[in-house]
Amino acid sequence: MPTSDALAALRIISRFALASCVALCGQALAAPPLADPSGAGSGGPSGVPLGIGQPASPAQIASWDIDVAPDGRSLPPGSGSVAQGLDIYRGQCAGCHGEHGQGGVGEKLAGGQGTLATAAPVKTVGSYWPYATTLFDYIRRAMPMNAPQSLSADQVYAVSAYVLYLNGIVPQDAVLGATTLPAIRMPNRDGFSGDPRPDVLDQACMSACGK
């Protein structure tokens, strides 16, 4: 039975062995890290890997990394027409959102333009959302609600085109893709303003604050 001192020495040696292997052996031997052979637990504060988990693969990262910026950055290749979107919408969206986007179990998707400043504002994609690219992002990640992320990029472009058509924002013959979608100017694009309260500004005051 080794003493605890001997165990600690063994652990230190195995760490050096792993560290020099990572340094010298390159990619092939660097991953995955081995668990501590002493079984006594290693890593944590010392910075040596715990031997659990695995690096995320590029494919796994890509499946999470699907956000689209308002200006259209990161939109995938592909395209879809209003007519193709009509088919998808009827089959996979209308049951919850209504044949004409009037709403049902799901939100109302069309109409409400010009109501935001009234006593009864109706917020829809068409009346409220400032960027058409957000529609693509939202549908791609979350809809249809019963099968999120099941649509191809072409299908998302198509059904986005159809929702914009329902709102009178694109014509019936519109075909949308990575360059045409960001070029759409949404009716409420300029309807948002910054928060004027000084305490919400993202500037840390470090001295002589309020002077």
Q: Which spans of this chain sit near ligand HEC (rule: CB under 6 A)?
A: 88, 92-93, 95-97, 105-107, 109, 124-125, 135, 138-139, 143-146, 159, 163
Task: Report, in Å, the least distance between residue 70 CB and ligand HEC.
Answer: 16
CB atoms within 10 A of CB 198: 9
CB atoms within 10 A of CB 111: 19
Which CB sits closer to ligand HEC, 75 or 88? Answer: 88
Which CB sits closer to ligand HEC, 95 or 130? Answer: 95
Three-class SS of residue 81?
A: strand
Alpha helices per DSSP H over 26-131:
27-30, 58-64, 82-92, 94-97, 125-128
Task: Report, in Å, the least distance between residue 105 CB and ligand HEC.
Answer: 5
Which CB sits closer to ligand HEC, 7 or 122? Answer: 122
Give the closest residue to 84 by CA, choosing from 1, 174, 188.
174
Task: Report, in Å, the least distance between residue 123 CB and ligand HEC.
Answer: 6
Task: Report, in Å, the least distance between residue 185 CB and ligand HEC.
Answer: 18
What residues contact 191, with CB distance under 8 A and at least 6 apart? 116, 128, 130
Which CB sits closer to ligand HEC, 71 or 87? Answer: 87
Structure token digits, residue 108 = 């109302």
Task: Report, in Å, the least distance between residue 127 CB and ligand HEC.
Answer: 9
CA distances from 85 to 71, 150, 161 (A): 22, 15, 6
Which CB sits closer to ligand HEC, 111 or 177? Answer: 111
